[in-house]
Amino acid sequence: QVHLAESGGGLVQAGGSLTLVCEASGNTDSIFSMGWYRQAPGKQRELVASIYRDTGGNPTYADSVKGRCTISIDNTQNEISLQMNSLKPEDTAVYYCHTYSFEARGLGHDYDTWGQGTQVTVSS
């Protein structure tokens, strides 16, 4: 119902910058929040950053990236960007775009949508 297209992943030197972009399509009006998660091998998937779709408010960041990352949403409210600066090797992970959606069906139902993941590799 929601499709997520991710771009911007790749290889970057430590200390460099990278911008991840996620464009949502489909039933985008149902999306409440959008964000990025990441998962490194052997580690739990963790929230990197999230933002409210309607207002662009409540940007939330993992402690590990605070001060280094900025999440924003564009004027269409369908695309988020995650500007990542001062990247560290420990930022290496598969990054997944994520949306939380709510639809008024009966009592209502909510669901999560995940992108396919994009690899971010930070070289030392």
pLDDT of 107 > 90? The answer is no
Encoded tokens for 87: 């990247």
Phi and psi at 29, nearest 5°, equal: -65, -20
DSSP of 25-79, one letter per residue?
EESGGGEEEEEEEEE-TTS--EEEEEEETTT----EE-TTTTTTEEEEE-TTSSE
Q: Note the pLDDT tens digit of each residue in 45-92.
A: 999 999 999 989 999 999 999 999 999 999 999 999 999 999 999 999
Place of tokens 């990197």: 48
Lookup result for tokens 């929601």: 2
Burial of 105 (C-beta count, 10 Å sphere; 0-12/13-18/19+): exposed
Distant-in-sequence, close-in-space partners of 6: CB < 8 Å, separation ≥ 6? 20, 21, 22, 95, 96, 97, 115, 116, 117, 118
What's the whole-number average pLDDT of the chain? 96
Query: What is the per-residue pLDDT across 93-106, written as a single tens digit (0 to 9) for each?
Result: 999 999 999 998 78
Helix (H, G, I), strand (E, B) or coil at 98: strand
